[in-house]
Amino acid sequence: MQSNKREVKGISPDAVEILLRYNWPGNVRELENAVEHAVVFGLSDRIQLEELPEAILEYERGKAAVPLGYHGAVREAKRKIVLAAMLDAAGNPMEAAALLGLHVNNLYRLIRDLELKPPSEHRFARNVTSDA
């Protein structure tokens, strides 16, 4: 990922862990904004924990464990897997689908079903469709 002339080669393990545990009430768009924030305010070639937006760090400090039950836990696991793939693919749904071993249409369905965000509302989805 390259933004603002800063080349980012990865995300530190502790930052990834926080990103995966966050609830993402703003869905994928909020994730995208969090990564952009970290890129803009960061200094090294890897996104560090302290470069993440304060709202995400505050959530982690104040969250309480909530029992989800089987279906809730499966849904949450799916959300984390999809979000991690989107992070690894820098927001590119074609790349994320390949990482997950899915057809991109199946990834879009997962995004919709998990209420991450309808694909048509993703800035990166519009970029992919305009290239086709």
* pLDDT (tens digit per residue) in 30-75: 888 888 888 888 888 888 888 888 888 777 666 544 555 777 778 8
Query: What is the CATH T-level fold of the domain 68-132, as seen in this structure?
Result: Arc Repressor Mutant, subunit A (1.10.10)
Cβ atoms 84, 16 nearer than 8 A: yes
Top pLDDT among 131 and 30 is at 30
Q: Which residues face 17 on adjacent strands?
A: none
Residue-level pLDDT at 102: 93
Tally of CB atoms within 10 A around 98? 15
Q: How far is CA 19 from the centre of its chain?
A: 7
Check whether 14 has a pLDDT greater than 70: yes
The 8-class DSSP code of residue 44 comes to: S
Token pair in block for residue 130: 């305009």
Residue-level pLDDT at 67: 52
Average model confidence (pLDDT) for the chain? 77
Residue-level pLDDT at 98: 95
2-11, 64-73, 74-83: least confidently modelled range: 64-73
Query: What is the CATH T-level fold of the domain 1-64, as seen in this structure?
Result: Helicase, Ruva Protein; domain 3 (1.10.8)
Residue-level pLDDT at 132: 37
Cβ atoms 112, 79 nearer than 8 A: no
* pLDDT (tens digit per residue) in 90-106: 888 999 999 999 999 98
Domain boundaries, the chain: 1-64, 68-132
Top pLDDT among 116 and 67 is at 116
Q: Confidence band (pLDDT; 50, 70, 90) for 26?
A: confident
Q: Which residues face 46 on adjacent strands?
A: 10
